[in-house]
């Protein structure tokens, strides 16, 4: 209870521009000259485009290429990346967007951003394990990136609106060389202001738009699966949907943390619900499992509550994926908790009666 209270007290709203990881504004709207851009090789064929590694002059970049059929995702992603105060260590640097003709004369639309070396979090966790400190750093940076997206503030006469990611999952998180996380893929992201929200740069009416139409089925929250998103405060609702997915992502990271499986082999990487529903769960299967049966990925028995650090981790994950959307933590609160958790491993036996160790 005391640990919980301390967390709650520390979760006071913080002025986002004072965030030490906020990098300040770029000098001008990012622009580039198409002749300076060179594509080297294909990195990934995603759902809504292909991503290439390339160079802008001598700077390594990632180039996301959209076809005319995918143009709305290009417009949306560009609109989001171009908003004021989008410079943050857990978001990719945006170098600009452009249009060119492909070899067969068809237009293609490009987004040029910072190239992130170590690939997606899914791939990283598949091939690496983490220790507690690395786990905390990853958890912290993923939450910090999401908290920055969610924050709205005005600085230097420019306002950053609140942004919901709407497709938060371990494939849309990149791992940087220092093992911190960087959020990508703003194709579904939405800027929100109370109940006004904007997609592809245009205002849309929340009442007329289903808020359950996007995302990755495996990471959909119970209210999205039920089509029961609270539309009266869609700003809060969309943030709560992102935080639900953050809980699943933290579980994925924690399941690869060697310190948490002391003496035992760390299990192979698994997607959330992979053990129960396999690699391609349907919307209906997810609906039954997550929404009706209120199931979540299980915690291993070895994660004992008598260990203060493990208890804090489990509470944080559970407070992210709560069935009741309004009871979930904010991303900023997860960020603060992750920071506190770093030191908890050292103190893990303190305050626990010896008989309960
Ligand atoms: P989609 O909307 O098609 O899912 P993403 O933006 O998620 O497209 O990109 C698809 C994949 O491309 C990602 O999962 C990742 O592996 C890779 N990728 C995306 N952005 C970057 C980047 N900035 N640096 C390195 N790889 C990236
Ligand atoms: Mg993606
Ligand atoms: Mg996408």
Closest ligand relative to 62 C-alpha: 1
Which residues are 12's β-sheet partners?
Answer: none
CB contact at 8 A, 281 and 220:
no
Q: What is the pLDDT of residue 18?
A: 52
pLDDT in tens, 15-36: 444 555 555 554 344 467 888 8
The C-alpha atoms of residue 113 and residue 86 are separated, in whole angstroms, by 12
pTM: 0.89
Could you tell me which of 66, 57, 60 has the C-alpha nearest to residue 32?
A: 57
**Position in ligand 1 atom list of the atom nearest CA 117:** 25
Q: How much distance in Å is there from the Cα of 128 to the middle of ligand 1?
A: 19
Report which protein residue has its CA nearest ligand 1's atom 5: 185
pLDDT in tens, 264-305: 999 999 999 999 999 999 999 999 999 999 999 999 999 998
Q: What is the pLDDT of residue 207?
A: 58
Average pLDDT on 244-252 reads 98
Q: What is the 3-state secondary structure (H, E, C) of 195-221?
A: CEEEECCEEEEHHHCCCCCCCCHHHCC
Report which protein residue has its CA nearest ligand 1's atom 16: 120
Q: What is the pLDDT of residue 205?
A: 66
Report which protein residue has its CA nearest ligand 1's atom 4: 46
The C-alpha atoms of residue 246 and residue 261 are separated, in whole angstroms, by 22
If one residue of 51, 89, 218 were mutated to test the ligand 1 pocket, choosing by the most ligand atoms within 8 A of its CB, it would be 51
Q: How much distance in Å is there from the Cα of 229 to the middle of ligand 3?
A: 21
CB contact at 8 A, 102 and 315:
no
Q: How much distance in Å is there from the Cα of 254 to the middle of ligand 2?
A: 22
- Cβ of 174 closer than 6 Å to ligand 1, yes or no, is yes
pLDDT-derived band at 45 (thresholds 50, 70, 90) equals confident
Q: What is the pLDDT of residue 337?
A: 97
- Cβ of 184 closer than 6 Å to ligand 1, yes or no, is yes
Q: What is the pLDDT of residue 357?
A: 40
How high is the ipTM of this complex?
Answer: 0.98
- Cβ of 123 closer than 6 Å to ligand 1, yes or no, is no
pLDDT-derived band at 350 (thresholds 50, 70, 90) equals low
Which two tokens mark 115?
Answer: 């190239």
Q: How much distance in Å is there from the Cα of 33 to the middle of ligand 2?
A: 26
pLDDT in tens, 326-340: 999 999 999 999 999
Cα 31 to Cα 26, 82, 90, 348: the distances in Å are 11, 11, 21, 50
Active site residue 167: yes
Pure H helices in the chain: 2-10, 71-81, 121-127, 132-150, 222-225, 234-254, 274-277, 283-286, 308-320, 331-344
Q: How much distance in Å is there from the Cα of 178 to the middle of ligand 3?
A: 24
Percent of the chain scoring above 90 in pLDDT: 70
Higher per-residue confidence, 280 vs 46: 280
Q: What rounded mean pLDDT belongs to the chain? A: 87
Of 167, 242, 319, 322, which residue is the catalytic one? Answer: 167
CB contact at 8 A, 188 and 166:
yes
CA angle 124, 131, 125 (to 5 degrees): 15
Percent of the chain scoring above 70 in pLDDT: 85
Least confident of 98-102, 107-111, 291-295: 98-102
pLDDT-derived band at 351 (thresholds 50, 70, 90) equals low
Q: What is the pLDDT of residue 301?
A: 95
pLDDT in tens, 128-167: 999 999 999 999 999 999 999 999 999 999 999 999 999 9
The C-alpha atoms of residue 115 and residue 174 are separated, in whole angstroms, by 10
- Cβ of 291 closer than 6 Å to ligand 1, yes or no, is no
Residue 179 has φ and ψ, to the nearest 5°, of: 70, 15
Report which protein residue has its CA nearest ligand 1's atom 2: 48
Average pLDDT on 308-320 reads 97
pLDDT-derived band at 342 (thresholds 50, 70, 90) equals very high
CB contact at 8 A, 340 and 334:
no
Q: What is the pLDDT of residue 349?
A: 58
CB contact at 8 A, 239 and 150:
yes
- Cβ of 214 closer than 6 Å to ligand 1, yes or no, is no
Report which protein residue has its CA nearest ligand 1's atom 25: 116
């Amino acid at each position: 209870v005391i640990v919980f209270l301390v967390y709650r007290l520390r979760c006071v709203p913080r002025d986002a521009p004072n965030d030490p990881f906020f990098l300040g504004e770029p000098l001008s709207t990012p622009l580039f000259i198409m002749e300076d851009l060179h594509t080297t090789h294909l990195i990934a064929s995603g759902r809504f485009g292909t991503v290439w590694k390339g160079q802008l002059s001598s700077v390594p970049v990632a180039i996301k290429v959209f076809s005319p059929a995918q143009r709305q995702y290009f417009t949306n992603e560009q609109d989001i990346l171009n908003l004021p105060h989008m410079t943050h260590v857990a978001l990719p640097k945006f170098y600009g967007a452009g249009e060119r003709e492909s070899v067969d004369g068809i237009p293609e639309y490009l987004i040029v951003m910072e190239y992130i070396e170590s690939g997606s979090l899914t791939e990283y966790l598949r091939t690496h394990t983490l220790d507690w400190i690395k786990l905390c750093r990853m958890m912290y940076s993923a939450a910090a990136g999401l908290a920055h997206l969610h924050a709205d503030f005005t600085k230097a006469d420019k306002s950053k609106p609140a942004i919901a990611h709407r497709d938060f999952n371990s494939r849309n998180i990149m791992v940087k060389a220092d093992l911190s996380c960087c959020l990508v893929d703003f194709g579904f992201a939405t800027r929100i202001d109370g109940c006004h929200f904007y997609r592809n740069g245009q205002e849309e009416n929340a009442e007329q738009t289903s808020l359950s139409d996007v995302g990755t089925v495996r990471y959909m929250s119970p209210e999205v699966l039920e089509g029961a998103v609270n539309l009266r405060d869609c700003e809060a609702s969309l943030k709560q949907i992102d935080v639900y997915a953050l809980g699943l992502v933290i579980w994925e990271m924690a399941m690869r943390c060697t310190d948490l499986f002391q003496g035992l082999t760390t299990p192979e990487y698994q997607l959330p619900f992979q053990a129960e529903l396999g690699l391609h769960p349907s919307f209906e299967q997810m609906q039954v499992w997550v929404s009706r049966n209120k199931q979540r990925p299980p915690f291993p028995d070895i994660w004992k509550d008598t260990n203060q650090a493990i208890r804090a981790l489990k509470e944080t994950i559970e407070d992210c994926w709560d069935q009741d959307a309004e009871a979930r933590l904010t991303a900023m609160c997860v960020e603060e908790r992750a920071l506190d958790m770093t030191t908890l491993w050292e103190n893990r036996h303190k305050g626990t009666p010896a008989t309960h160790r």
